[in-house]
């Protein structure tokens, strides 16, 4: 009997050590996989504000985006105080309702939260020339989508994952609004119509589907970039929108989703790359100006009492409504940020494109001259020095008394 017990004990000890050894190996292998697949730190590592800024390069800060003028702080404060008074009334009206009033449970506070974020994005971007609609779906999956009637549907699964983070919600709403304002639903519907016009299993149908899938991915990149711009103009911080970025990465593993969407890795690369050329301070100033010039947009429950309508500003004229970015603004920020990022060849290309559109711009000629000077210092090629002199001379003809231009003439 003693012998049997002894062998059982031995066996237990032996097995235990084997399990422990294997268990450690499993942990190590799993940690290695986690390094590869983790949706946390790794995938926003590159997504940081204003990467390279070379302090040695010349920048008298003369480049600005159009579309705003600076408002006195006291006037801004007065306007914000007046707006906040209206918001507090809206808040008590929305949050004071009984759950039964909504047909959906306890959505008052959630409505208010999403209303404030969406309304801020709408006003900051002059999108208040039309009504917007927010629908809360009870669906527990993480998703959101928009329709051509400016209706944004947010699943409970998405809202509940993001609800503590306004920046993340803003990035999600911005993306969906971007689909609407860039006309993506109409573009997609045209593909659907075309696909349906061919017989099932036909080669032409397969070609039409392929064309749709490829274009759909381009639309996602565009909505990501434009959506991020909408959120930045409303004052939201993209660096803090980590839950949305993490979601985008995670969703790319879903085969149905990844059929029409680029991979998460590519979408995050597109975010980081696009953002390298944002002029975020300038964009925020445009947003502050647009909010100052607009009035609080009132929410109301929709006729089916399941969604929230954010009413348009009826006084808005066509001329004041949202416009996609002008080519001049786009080339301005690409040229300027390429220069600041030390990408001088790119800056050279974008400054020439900008000057083709805006020939009488002395500031652009001055920065073109700085760029060529940097290229001269980098390569030692004399042609860049000659270019630098030529461009600063153009600048001086356009603005003879400018001191920064005179300094550059003297420096060269």
Distance, in Å, from the CA atom of 25 to the CA atom of 44, rounded to the nearest integer, reads 29
Site string for Zn ion, 333-372 (x = CB under 5 A): ----------------------------------------
Residue number with CB closer to Zn ion (227 or 299): 227
- Taking the C-alpha atoms of residue 386 and residue 71, their distance in angstroms, rounded to an integer, is 41
Burial of 405 (0-12, 13-18, 19+ CB in 10 A): buried
- Answer for the pair 199, 90: CB distance below 8 angstroms, yes or no: no
**Beta bridge partner(s), residue 310:** 132, 299
Residue 191 or 292 having the CB closest to Zn ion:
191
Smallest separation (angstroms) from Zn ion to the CB of 389: 48
- Of 119 and 220, the one with the shorter C-beta distance to Zn ion is 220
Give CA–CA dist 226/217, Å, rounded: 14
CB closer to Zn ion out of 65 and 152:
152
Q: Which is nearer to Zn ion, 233 or 267 (CB)?
A: 267
Residues 208 to 247 in contact with Zn ion, rule: CB under 5 A: 220, 223
Q: How far is the CB of 227 from Zn ion (least distance, A)?
A: 8
Residue 146 beta carbon to Zn ion: minimum distance, rounded to whole angstroms:
8
Task: State how far the Cα of 98 lies from the Cα of 299, in Å rounded to an integer.
Answer: 17
CB nearer to Zn ion: pick between 171 and 223: 223
CB of 270 to Zn ion, least distance (A): 12
Nearer to Zn ion, 223 or 309 (CB): 223
CB of 215 to Zn ion, least distance (A): 13
| Binding-residue total with Zn ion (CB under 5 A) | 2
Alpha helices in 298-381 (DSSP H): 327-340, 344-357, 362-379
**At closest approach, how far in Å is the CB of 244 from Zn ion?**
12
Tokens (6 digits) for 203 = 């080669």
Q: In the chain, count H helices and then E strands.
A: 16, 5
Instruction: For residue 137, give the DSSP letter.
Output: E
- What whole-number distance in Å separates Cα of residue 7 and Cα of residue 266? 58
Q: What are phi and psi of 278, to 5 degrees?
A: -75, 145
Q: Least CB distance from residue 158 to Zn ion, whole Å?
A: 12
> Which residues of this chain interact with Zn ion, rule CB under 5 A?
220, 223
């Amino acid at each position: 009997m003693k012998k049997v017990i002894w062998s059982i004990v031995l066996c237990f000890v032996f097995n235990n050590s084997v399990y422990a050894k294997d268990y450690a190996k499993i942990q190590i292998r799993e940690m290695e996989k986690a390094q590869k697949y983790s949706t946390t730190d790794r995938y926003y590592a590159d997504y940081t504000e204003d990467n390279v800024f070379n302090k040695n390069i010349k920048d008298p800060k003369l480049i600005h985006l159009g579309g705003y003028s600076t408002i006195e702080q006291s006037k801004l404060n007065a306007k914000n105080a007046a707006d906040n008074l209206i918001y507090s009334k809206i808040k008590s009206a929305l949050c004071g309702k009984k759950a039964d009033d909504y047909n959906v449970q306890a959505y008052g506070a959630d409505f208010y939260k999403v209303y404030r974020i969406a309304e801020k994005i709408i006003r900051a971007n002059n999108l208040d020339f039309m009504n917007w609609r927010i629908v809360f779906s009870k669906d527990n999956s993480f998703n959101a989508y928009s329709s051509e009637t400016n209706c944004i549907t947010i699943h409970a699964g998405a809202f509940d994952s993001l609800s503590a983070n306004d920046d993340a919600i803003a990035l999600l709403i911005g993306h969906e609004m971007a689909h609407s304002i860039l006309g993506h639903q109409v573009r997609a519907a045209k593909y659907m119509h075309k696909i349906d016009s061919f017989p099932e299993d036909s080669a032409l149908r397969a070609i039409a589907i392929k064309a749709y899938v490829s274009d759909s991915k381009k639309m996602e990149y565009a909505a990501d970039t434009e959506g991020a711009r909408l959120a930045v103009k409303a004052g939201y911080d993209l660096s803090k929108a980590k839950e949305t970025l993490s979601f985008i990465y995670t969703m790319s593993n879903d085969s149905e989703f990844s059929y029409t969407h680029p991979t998460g890795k590519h979408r995050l690369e597109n975010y980081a790359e696009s953002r390298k050329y944002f002029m975020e301070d300038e964009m925020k100033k445009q947003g502050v100006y647009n909010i100052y010039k607009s009035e609080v947009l009132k929410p109301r429950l929709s006729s089916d009492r399941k969604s929230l309508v954010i009413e348009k500003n009826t006084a808005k004229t066509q001329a004041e409504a949202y416009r996609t970015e002008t080519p001049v603004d786009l080339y301005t920020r690409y040229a300027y940020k390429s220069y600041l990022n030390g990408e001088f060849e790119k800056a050279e290309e974008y400054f020439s494109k900008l000057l083709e559109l805006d020939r009488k711009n002395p500031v652009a000629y001055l920065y073109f001259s700085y760029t060529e000077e940097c290229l001269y210092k980098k390569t030692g090629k004399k042609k860049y020095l000659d270019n630098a002199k030529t461009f600063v001379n153009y600048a001086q003809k356009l603005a003879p008394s400018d001191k920064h231009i005179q300094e550059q003439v003297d420096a060269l």
